[in-house]
Amino acid sequence: MTDGADRFLAATRCEKSDTTPVWFMRQAGRSLPQYRALRRRFSFMELATTSDLCVEVTCLPVDILGVDAAVVFADIMLPLQGMGVAFEIREGVGPVIRKPLSSQPEVDNLRIIEAEEATPYLFPAIRAARERLGRRAALIGFGGAPFTLACYLVEGHGSRDFPRVRTLIHSEPEIWNRLMTTLTEVSARYLSAQASAGADVVQLFDSWVGVLDRATFEVHVAPHLQRLLERLRYLVPVIYFSTASAHLLDGIAAAGPQGVSIDWRLPLGEAWGVIGPHRFIQGNLDPALVLAPWPVLEAAALGVLSEAGGRPGHIFNLGHGVLPASSPEQLRRLVDLVHEKGAGKPS
C-alpha cells in the first residue's frame, strides 16, 4: 500500500497512485473529542501559538481519521500580528480587528517583517510535525489570500458580503492597491517560510472572494494573486481555495495555482473543464452531508468520486470546513470509503 504522503503528493502532480487521497478542512478542531478536551484547558490562541500543542492538534486527525494529509493548526489571522494589527478571536463571532483600516496613512503604517519574526512559534511546529508524520501523511501549510485578509482588515470582522470592502475598492482604488500589495508581500514571505520549514503543499484560503463580480476580481484582485503565485511557483505546490466563486473560476485558473479547491455548488467534471486537465482539483462534498445518515453520505461521496471520473489529480475533500456537529466515526468511515473506492480501485 502507498503511504498517505506519497498518495497525496502524486495527486498534486496529477499522477496516478493506489487510490484517491483524502483530508478535510477543519479536520483538526471542532468535531474531535480529543481537541475539545484540549480546548477546555487552553484557548484557541494558546493552542495555535505554543509549538508543542500545535503539533499535537495538527497530527490528531491522521491518527483518528486516517487522512492522507495533516493541516497545520493555525489561523489565517496570525501573520497580521506581525504587521502591527491588533485583533482578537471572539467566541462565537470569529476574528475582530480593533481598528479597521480605511485611510492611506493606516495602510502605509502596516509593517512588513520576516515571517520567522512575526510568527516564531509556527516554524518549529511545522518542522516537528513534518518529522512526526514521516510518510504517513503530507503536511499542508496555509495562509489567507490577500483579498480575504483585506476583508477582515477593512470590514473589521466577518460579514455576509463585505460591503465596506466593495465600496473601498471602487472609491479608493489607490489605497486598495497599496493594501493588496502589502498583503501579497506578507503572504509570499509567510507561505515561503512554511515551505522552507517542511510544508509539502500550501493552501491559500480565499474564502470570501466569491462576493466579487468578475470585472472587479480581474482588475483589483487577480494581478496580486498572480504575483503571489509566481513567488511560490518553484517552492511548493499551491491549492487555491474559495467558495461560491464558479463565476470567477477561469480567472482563478489564469492566475496560475497548481490546484484548485471547488465547493459543492459546482460538479467537479464541469470545474475541470474550466481549469484544464493539467491542474489538480480538490473537493467537493457538501459538508452538511457528513451529518446525514450513512447511506445518504455514502451515495453522495460515491457521486463525487464518479464526477472525478478516475482522473489522477483528484484530492477528496469537503467543499468547505467540517461542521462542528460532524461525528468523527462518520468522517473515519468516509475516509475508508474513499480509499476503498477511489481512482485506481476496481469498482
Q: Segment contacting ligand CP3 (CB under 6 A): 25-33, 122-130, 172-180, 262-270?
A: 25-33
Binding residue for ligand CP3, selected from 5, 9, 10, 25, defined by CB under 6 A: 25
Is the CB of residue 317 less than 8 Å from the CB of residue 23? Answer: yes
Residue 265 engages ligand CP3 in binding (rule: CB under 6 A): no
Dihedral angle, C-alpha 319, 325, 331, 334, nearest 10 °: -60
Identify which of residues 141 and 313 has a Cβ nearer to ligand CP3 in the complex.
141
CA distance 2 to 154: 45
Which residues between 184 and 243 bind ligand CP3 (CB under 6 A)? 205, 207
Q: Give residue for cell 499542508.
A: 140
Shortest spacing between CB 6 and ligand CP3, in angstroms: 22
Shortest spacing between CB 16 and ligand CP3, in angstroms: 26
CA distance 319 to 309: 18
Shortest spacing between CB 252 and ligand CP3, in angstroms: 15
Number of chain positions touching ligand CP3 (CB under 6 A): 19
Cα-Cα-Cα-Cα dihedral sign, residues 45, 49, 54, 58: positive
Q: Segment contacting ligand CP3 (CB under 6 A): 13-21, 75-83, 129-137, 334-342?
A: 75-83
Shortest spacing between CB 317 and ligand CP3, in angstroms: 9
Identify which of residues 287 and 343 has a Cβ nearer to ligand CP3 in the complex.
287
Peptide bond into 284 cis (omega under 30): yes
Classify residue 329 as exposed, middle or buried by CB count within 10 Å of its CB (0-12, 13-18, 19+). exposed
Binding residue for ligand CP3, selected from 56, 68, 75, 286, defined by CB under 6 A: 75
Binding residue for ligand CP3, selected from 30, 132, 157, 332, defined by CB under 6 A: 30
Residue 127 engages ligand CP3 in binding (rule: CB under 6 A): no
Identify which of residues 102 and 159 has a Cβ nearer to ligand CP3 in the complex.
159
Binding residue for ligand CP3, selected from 8, 123, 142, 240, defined by CB under 6 A: 142
Q: Segment contacting ligand CP3 (CB under 6 A): 73-81, 118-126, 274-282, 307-315?
A: 73-81
Residues at the contact surface with ligand CP3, assessed by CB under 6 A: 25-26, 28-30, 44, 71, 73, 75-77, 89, 94-95, 142, 158, 205, 207, 321
